[in-house]
Amino acid sequence: MAAQTQRQPTASYRTPPVHMDPGEVALETALLALADPVRQILVRELAQAGDWERQCGSFDVPVTKATLSKHFAVLREAGLLEQRDAGAKRLNRLRRAEFDARFPGLLDLVLRHEGAS
Amino acid sequence: MAAQTQRQPTASYRTPPVHMDPGEVALETALLALADPVRQILVRELAQAGDWERQCGSFDVPVTKATLSKHFAVLREAGLLEQRDAGAKRLNRLRRAEFDARFPGLLDLVLRHEGAS
DNA sequence: CCGAGTGTACGTAAGCCATCGAACACTTTG
DNA sequence: CAAAGTGTTCGATGGCTTACGTACACTCGG
């Protein structure tokens, strides 16, 4: 039955992303993560998309790849983001439920406060 | 009766504190203000006391007067604090209702998340 | 009126954070 | 196999924030 004729993308050739348990995130960490304007954009775009739908490079943000990569790391540290490797791409998911359980209302506040206002 | 036998303290001999309208505070400003550990202490102590009950020097924080003064300015800028002069002292009030109207749930979140945990 | 008390402004030093370019590793496309 | 694509890491840089000590201004209590 045509085993291994279809090459699966390597799940993870690089060091897999380190994830923080949202239940153990400090309030200060969460607030700092959400305070940054660039990260607010990321979170909002993630909220509009479905899980694992967006890859890292697909976000409309005014910074370079390197900086963007750092922002993702911060969001992970804050328990806001889960990432998974799929070949060369890295897919993203907003940890909405988990984060909400830890800090009820906080994420919603950021999502609601779109474009300054 | 007995008019001016009791000397009223000068309301304001120095430049009165500048206050920000909570309705116009940016989300980023609010989050940054509340992210700092020292300011979290201030906000929590203020929440436990009544309005105009505490003077600036009465807070139990591990910083000098000068630094403390700066923190109060940040809280004012974030629409979290109202200050009023009474002689040499400056009295404080947490702008709970106003801030809550602007960012529902945010202040409560900080107050609830006492001592790290 | 003099000394203690209260709080701000200024100048400064240290630390942190966002940012970038360049180099790298591996995948995907052709 | 080569070239383009994806994303991370490193080192350097610039700016902002926190912090302190000092000096200042004024009030309050004797």
SS3 per-residue string spanning chain B: CCCCCCCCCCCCCCCCCCCCCHHHCCHHHHHHHHHCHHHHHHHHHHHHCCCCCEEHHHCCCCCCHHHHHHHHHHHHHCCCEEEEEECCEEEEEECHHHHHHHCCCHHHHHHHCCCCC
For residue A39, the 8-state DSSP code is: H
* B22-B26-B27-B33 Cα dihedral, nearest 10 degrees: -70
pLDDT, residue A5, reads: 39
Within a domain: residue B91? yes
- Per-residue CA distances from B2 to A48, B6, B7, B9, B96 (Å): 68, 8, 11, 17, 37
pLDDT, residue A9, reads: 60
SS3 of residue A31 by DSSP:
helix
CATH classification at residue B29: 1.10.10.10
- Tell me which chain A residue has its CA closest to the CA of residue B30: A35
State the nearest Cα–Cα gap between B32 and chain A, in angstroms. 6
Q: What percent of chain B clears pLDDT 70, i.e. is strictly above it?
A: 89
Amino acid identity at B115: G
Within a domain: residue A16? no
Number of structural domains chain B divides into: 1
Residue B2 pLDDT > 80: no
Within a domain: residue B12? no
Within a domain: residue B93? yes
CB atoms within 10 A of CB A100: 14
Q: Which bases of chain D are contacted by protein, using any atom under 7 A from a CB?
A: 5-11, 17-23, 25-28
Give the strands of the sheet with A54-55, arranged side by side: A54-55, A89-94, A81-86
Mean pLDDT, rounded, of chain A: 92
User: CA at A67, C1' at D10: how many angstroms apart?
Assistant: 13
Q: How many CB pairs under 8 A join A and B?
A: 47
Residue A55 corresponds to which tokens in the numbers above? 């890859």
**Is B103–A109 a contact, with Cβ atoms under 8 angstroms apart?**
yes
A95 is in which domain, residue-wise? 22-112
Pick the range with the lowest mean pLDDT from A28-32, B13-17, B24-28.
B13-17
With contact defined as beta carbons under 8 Å apart, do A63 and A71 qualify?
Answer: yes
Within a domain: residue B82? yes
Residue A7 corresponds to which tokens in the numbers above? 């090459």
Within a domain: residue B10? no
pLDDT, tens digit, for every residue of A64-104?
Answer: 999 999 999 999 999 999 999 999 999 999 999 999 999 99
Within a domain: residue A10? no
CB nearest to A105's CB, from B26, B35, B105: B105
pLDDT, residue A117, reads: 47
Residues ≥6 apart with Cβ < 8 Å to A45: A54, A59, A60
pLDDT confidence band for A12 (50 / 70 / 90)? confident
pLDDT, residue A65, reads: 98
pLDDT confidence band for B4 (50 / 70 / 90)? very low
Within a domain: residue A15? no
Which nt sits closest to B71, CA to C1'?
Answer: D18
Residue B15 pLDDT > 50: yes
pLDDT, tens digit, for every residue of B50-91?
Answer: 999 999 999 999 999 999 999 999 999 999 999 999 999 999
pLDDT confidence band for A2 (50 / 70 / 90)? very low
pLDDT, residue A68, reads: 99
Q: What percent of chain A clears pLDDT 90, i.e. is strictly above it?
A: 86
